[in-house]
């Protein structure tokens, strides 16, 4: 099994690569960091990280010649299991509103909106308790009250509540995990979330949607 970790100059690839390599040993997975759309198109799993502002990440992804088409063909055409992390997850949405309105990939309907948490610091940064909204194979062994590590000022408001798999309470519910079909995304950083994050990565590598 080959896992493509997409490099488009917008993600913390070193930590993510180490975490996926660690959990990939038992799954027989080879983790490849790549900006080559042909490698992405042939992968058995695809991971899209993302750090920074939504418009900058979306533009950077579009600037890798052929990558958006390769991802679309693999994920939507061949149903390759896909995981988005942080802004990589947010880009699954229909539209982002950070700085300016920016089209997302549109694979999971919803909007990226600013976190409104009166009296609380934004960005939402640090450990928070997950609340599991609905079971999913990628969340196997992860329970409500387990901790995950977040760094973000914007949140994914899904159009269909069934696509929100988990949330946290930060001045109200804030989406933590989204999913539909062969796609999942985490607002938190699994590679920085210790045992819970590694469990989620291992689940993703075993997942056969």
The catalytically annotated residue of 136, 152, 163, 189 is 189
- Residue in this structure with the two tokens 């599991």, named with its chain if needed: 132
The catalytically annotated residue of 17, 86, 111, 124 is 86
CB 160 within 8 A of CB 109: yes
- 57 an active-site residue? no
Of 52, 140, 34, nearest to 99 by C-alpha is: 52
End-to-end CA distance of the chain: 15
Beta strands in 97-161 (DSSP E): 102-103, 110-114, 124-129, 131-132, 147-152, 154-158
- 189 an active-site residue? yes
The catalytically annotated residue of 17, 98, 111, 191 is 191
The set of catalytic residues is 86, 189, 191
């Amino acid at each position: 099994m080959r896992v493509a970790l997409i490099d488009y100059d917008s993600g913390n690839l070193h930590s993510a690569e180490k975490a996926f390599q660690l959990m990939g040993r038992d799954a027989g997975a080879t983790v490849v960091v790549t900006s080559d759309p042909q490698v992405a198109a042939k992968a058995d799993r695809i991971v899209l990280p993302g750090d920074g502002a939504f418009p900058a990440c979306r533009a950077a992804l579009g600037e890798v010649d052929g990558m958006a088409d390769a991802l679309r063909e693999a994920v939507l055409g061949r149903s390759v299991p896909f995981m988005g992390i942080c802004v990589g997850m947010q880009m699954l949405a229909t539209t982002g509103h950070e700085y300016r309105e920016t089209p997302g990939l549109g694979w999971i309907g919803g909007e990226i909106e600013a976190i409104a948490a009166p009296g609380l610091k934004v960005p939402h940064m640090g450990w928070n308790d997950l609340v599991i909204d609905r079971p999913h194979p990628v969340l196997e062994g992860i329970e409500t009250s387990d901790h995950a590590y977040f760094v973000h000022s914007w949140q994914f408001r899904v159009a269909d509540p069934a696509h929100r798999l988990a949330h946290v309470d930060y001045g109200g519910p804030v989406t933590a995990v989204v999913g539909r079909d062969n796609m999942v995304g985490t607002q938190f950083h699994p590679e920085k979330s210790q045992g819970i994050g590694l469990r989620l990565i291992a689940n993703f590598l075993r997942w056969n949607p």
